[in-house]
Amino acid sequence: MNIFKQFVKTIYYFPLVITYLCGVGGVKVKQDLEYANETCRFFSNKNKYILFLNLISQLPEWRQVYLMRIGRIGRLLSIIYAKNILLAIHCDDIEGGLFIQHGHSTEINAKRIGRNCQIWQNVTIGVKYSGGETPVIGNNVKISAGACVLGGINIGDNVTIGANAVVLNDVPENCIAVGVPAKIIRQHNGRSEENC
């Protein structure tokens, strides 16, 4: 039965499978796939083809990231594989390893997003006011459900932004930002510090 399901998926997603096998997305797609394999244990598989097929068929947000990665071909194929979630990505500089978890009602508008970034549902990354600047997101950043990251700010490497936080100022590396407006909590010399 599993072989039959894999066959049906392969037929339906044949155009995407061909682009993947031809390496259209390049290194960043491989990094996205590796990070998804580490992050989402439900889909974990040593066979990259089976992993790819499971991700594009069962996670519409991963499929949308893949379509974005493959550029013009992806925009054309998005007509066939219409979005059934409200996920908008407006960023030309996204490093490999982007993983969007339950990306419903998520708007991503950043100058740059670093490696291995995780973003959950109902997240807004963008301008603070019309015509304003967009954020720069570092490496290994986790942005939890409902968070807003607004304005021309920098989010450092290894940062976690808590659920429903509203981040309006820079967040240094290795910190956790929580609350409205977000306060930054970090370890320094063995004790916690809070910064606004």
- Mean pLDDT, the chain, rounded, equals 85
Most confident stretch, 84-93, 163-172, 183-192: 163-172
What is the value of pTM for the model shown? 0.75
Indicate if the pLDDT at residue 108 is higher than 60: yes
CA distances from 138 to 71, 143, 154 (A): 23, 11, 8
CB 134 within 8 Å of CB 125: yes
Exposed / middle / buried, residue 2 (Cβ in 10 Å: 0-12, 13-18, 19+): exposed
Question: What would the pLDDT profile of 48-99 be if each residue is shown by its tens digit?
Answer: 888 888 888 888 888 888 998 998 998 888 888 866 667 888 888 999 889 8
CB 85 within 8 Å of CB 61: yes
